[in-house]
Amino acid sequence: MNNKIYVTADFEGANPRSDGIARISDDHFVLSVFSETTIESYRMETMIVNDSTEKQVLHIEINWPTKPFSELRDCFYVKHEHTPDWITAPAETAPGKSFLSIAALPGKTYLCLHPRYGYADCESFVSNLPYNGLISKELAGKSDKGRNIWIIKLSNGFESKEKLRFMISARNHANESSGNYCVEGMIEWLLSNEPTVPYFLEKIDFFFMPMTNPDGVAEGMARFTGTRCADLNRTDKWLRENTPGALPDRSHEAFLNALDSVKPTHFVNLHSYLFKYEDEIHARSEQDIESFTRFFPDDINAGKRWKHVIVSQDSPFPGFCGKNQPETLSLLLEIPWFGRNAELMKETGRKILRALILMNTATYTAG
């Protein structure tokens, strides 16, 4: 047996874990993904370690918990420890399975269904933010397992009753890493030398929750905060009626309390899914959607068109409900990975934030 090349789960957020990795031969591995949910929302993050001095080709078979939507799991992402960004790896599919071959260079190579972004990555990003007078960081709370849930505020420090309060949250669901890269792109843009940023900071205070579900992220979950099944994208009322054993949950409480504390005038909740050629926007009205997409139209370069979804008054999504939310303009965005790498996802975040700003600050004059 070739012991110089192997697949490991020895890192934060791995899925499958060690008991789900089976070596069939020198170059053939079977990975059996686990999930805490029967909802079609799964996660696969693993690492190939090549301790030899030569490139090695591995054949990998992946078993998914259920069969529906298997055909969408035909594209994976690969990143070697010494390469700057993720590249795609095509796969073949059968009901409940994916099959792909990977040419692994010497060293460590991540193989994931979506580019990974772990709890440690978020902690590093928050700790490395500069102390420049614009940024303040505070804990919205701790998760059930004691992990940090941050709120990052960017403000020029001037108080005004007319100032808007924009709140952007990501990673309600543990497998939806695109939101973290979008948030990084947004914050980097607000800290850049972009000439319009000081103008916008005069009118808007920005609040970011980059990782609302750190336990689910760190422990390899697909959607929920853990095996108790708290869904951060559902209200207390919905959870009590549908999964009462999920409450109380400290991450869920921290997220809802942050919404009530900030009282945002505008709220964007970032999500992702497997569909390749659609970005999806949920809003209360078609007018809100049209106002946003005027400044962020279909992302044709990434092969995307916007799918419009109007949210009803009895929505279970926290951003469209709650004590302080009836007057808030809320958008839920599904931003899939297909056609984007990490740098393009950061740019997508910048486009989202620009559109949100411009739909509320741009004016038009006849002439």
- Show me where the domains of the chain are located: 5-112, 119-361
Q: What is the pLDDT of residue 305?
A: 98
Q: Is the pLDDT of residue 321 over 80?
A: no
Cα-to-chain-centroid distance, residue 279: 14
Residues 6+ apart with CB under 8 A from 160: none
The stretch 270-297 carries a mean pLDDT of 96
Q: Is the pLDDT of residue 367 over 90?
A: no
d(CA 50, CA 116): 20
Higher local confidence (pLDDT), 367 or 239: 239
Q: Is the pLDDT of residue 60 over 90?
A: yes
Q: What is the pLDDT of residue 366?
A: 40
Per-residue pLDDT tens digits for 342-355: 999 999 999 999 99
Q: Which of 253, 258, 238 is nearest to 143 (CA)?
A: 253
pTM, whole model, 2 decimals? 0.95
| Class of residue 32 by CB neighbours under 10 A (exposed 0-12, middle 13-18, buried 19+) | middle
CATH-assigned architecture of domain 5-112: Sandwich (2.60)
CATH superfamily entry for domain 119-361: Zn peptidases (3.40.630.10)
Q: Is the pLDDT of residue 122 over 90?
A: yes
